[in-house]
Every structure is written in structure tokens, then in C-alpha cells.
A = this chain, B = another copy of it.
Amino acid sequence: MTTTNRKRRTTIGDVARAAGASISTVSRVLNGVDSVDAALAERVRQTIVELGYRPNAAAQGLARGRSGTIGVLVPDLANPYFHDMLKALSDVARGSGRRVLVMDSGEDPYEERELADDLIRHSDGILLCSPRMPRADLAELAHRGHPMVVTNRVVLGLELHAINVDFFRGMLAVCGHLAQLGHREVVYLSGPEASWANAERLRALSAAEDFGLTFRTIPCGATAEAGYEAAPAALDLGARAVVAYNDFVALGALARFTDLGVRVPEEISLTGFDGIGMARYASPALTTVAVPRELLGRLAGEALVRQMQGASEVEPEAVAVELLVRGSTAAPMRREPASS
């Protein structure tokens, strides 16, 4: 009955014909050009509704020379760290009439490069979150002249717009806090080797040695599971203070300590990093460093939008962090380590 012809969608031409106007007039109405006669415009608008016409995105993209899309590449979509960023970015994108294309590199540097390429083809600008790809690849991408922003990855001598979180200061604050509590040594449960985030934390740990706070490192990871697994090793080292790569690791370690009957913070102090929501609801609440992920995503999105509008900025931006002192840290006990 109603179904006349399958397959072919109604085009701008159909609307024009039905409304007794020209294609360009319809296009004008569609794009809000107000040089169109009010009555005609209204007629066109009505026809559009009647015919249920929707502009073809590909055709618009081709004609306009832009897709109206922002691409984001993250190392791991399942990592909550990127969700708040993604959400903020998505908001910015929408605010500027754009859409967001996401890709997950699975922490694979090679894939990362491939996907970034594909992302460029399909978007007007891309955001690379904590990219692990080699400097050369990053350089090549940057020289492509496609709007691009990178977060949490410092690459010296490269003209690319980076927005980085001051992990160094954050970790330094953690160390300072622990040192002032009376700790002389910490055990660091380290994160992903290839990440700049981990490198910065290590750099801060080293810097803290200037204040007499030494540290030892245990390879760990970035998940609660990794923290749970690595915790005993920290105990074996006679740790009185454990600094985790992030909150997940800390939460995992905390669970293990609890399982083992080691009290936090009485017997051992523990810190996280990132300031995820759950950190606050742990028992004890986790001392951590709040990283404004939402801000990071927003800044990146805004920078991207600016670039897409022609601005060519390469000034790196820095995002500050804040130490959140909570219940998981305290002065070290007199003696007798938890285990050995």
C-alpha cells in the first residue's frame, strides 16, 4: 500500500520537485541560509517532513569536504580512565555539531598507527589518547596536516598539540605526603612499561630521592587483578608504604592486604592514582591523586575544534592534579614489618 518503491531514498531533488522549488533552494533551507522567501521556505520545510526526507551524510561530506566527525583513539576502551574523557569529548563534539568515532588499539603500537590512519580518513580531526606508537609514526601523522591532538604523551621537538596531565607533580605530591608522614622508603607497583604516564611517575619517584625517600619497584600493571597479584611481593620486600600505579592497582592490593590480614594504613600505607570514584568508597578510603579526566577530554575537544576552524596551535597544555589525602595512608608503625 504505502510502500511504493523499495531501495531508493528520497533525495533533495525529490523534495525540490514536490515543493516546486529548485534544488539549491531546498539546500538553502536545509542549511539555514535566510535569503529564502519565508513562504517558500515554509513550503519546502513542510515537504521535507511529508516526504520524510533526510540528507545523505556521505553526499554532504563529499560536497562540503568535511565529515563532521572527530576521531578518538584510545589504548583500551574498557579502561575507565578514558570514559570520562570520551564523555567530555563527546559533549564538546556535539556542541559543535559533530560526531565522535572511537577506536580501540588494544594497547598495540602497530595497530595504533593503522587505526590512526583510518581515523584520519574518516574524520575532520583526531585525538590520540596516550599513544604508545613510536615517535617516528607520531611525527609522520603530525606532518599530515590533519587536525590532531595528543594527550599524555610528550614528544620533544615535534610540532604537535599535546595536552598532558602533570603526573610528575602528582607523584611528587604522593611522595612528599608519605615522606612527611615519616616514611623513608616506598615500594612502587609500576604500570604499563610503554606508557608515558608510568615514566613520569618513575621520574617523580627518582626526584623524591633528593628528599631522602628511596623506592623499589615491582612490575605490576594497571588493573585491580595485577595489584592483587603483586601485593604479596610488596610485603616480601618489607614495605611500609606501597605506591600503586593507579587506583585499580591500589584497590586490588588493598583487597589482598585485607585477605592477608595486613591492616591499612596501620601496618602499611597505600596510595592510588587517578582519583576514580571507587577510590573514595574503599575501606579505608584511598589516598590518591585526582586527575581531571573530564577536563582533559574537554580541552582536547576544544583544541581540536579550534584546529578544524583553521587555528594551527602547537602549544602544549598542562593539566594540574590534586593530592587527595584519605584514610589509606598514615605514619609508619614503630617496627616489626608485616611479613617477610
Spell out A's residues near B (CB within 8 Å): 54-59, 61-62, 67, 69, 76-80, 83-84, 86-87, 90-91, 94, 99-104, 117-118, 120-122, 223-225, 228, 248, 251-252, 254-255, 258, 277-278, 280-283, 285
Contact = CB atoms under 8 A, between A and B. Distances in A.
A58 B67 contact: yes
Contact of A281 (B59, B252, B277): B252
Given A78-B83, A87-B77, A281-B224, A58 B61 contact: yes
B90 A104 contact: yes
Given A67-B58, A77-B83, A258 B283 contact: yes
Interface centre among A78, A80, A254 (most CB of B within 10 A): A78
B283 A283 contact: yes
Contacts of A83: 77-80, 83
A101 B104 contact: no
A311 B120 CA distance: 31
What is the predominant secondary structure among interface residues of chain A facing chain B?
Answer: helix
B121 A102 contact: no
A119 to B, nearest CB: 8
12 contacts: A54-B117, A59-B62, A77-B86, A83-B83, A101-B101, A224-B280, A225-B277, A252-B281, A255-B280, A255-B285, A258-B283, A283-B283
Given A102-B102, A255-B281, 16 more contacts: A61-B61, A77-B86, A77-B87, A80-B80, A86-B102, A94-B103, A99-B118, A100-B103, A223-B277, A224-B277, A224-B280, A225-B277, A252-B281, A254-B283, A255-B283, A282-B282
B122 A57 contact: yes
A87 B76 CA distance: 8
Given A99-B122, A103-B99, A77 B90 contact: yes
A111 B93 CA distance: 15
A83 B56 CA distance: 30
B69 A62 contact: no
A274 to B, nearest CB: 14
Contacts of A248: 278
A265 to B, nearest CB: 14
Contacts of A77: 83, 86-87, 90
A282 B254 CA distance: 9
Interface centre among A58, A79, A101, A224 (most CB of B within 10 A): A58
Closest 7 CB pairs of A and B: A58-B61, A255-B281, A58-B62, A77-B87, A258-B283, A57-B121, A78-B87
Contacts of A225: 277
Nearest to A256: B281
Contacts of A104: 87, 90-91
Interface centre among A277, A281, A282 (most CB of B within 10 A): A281
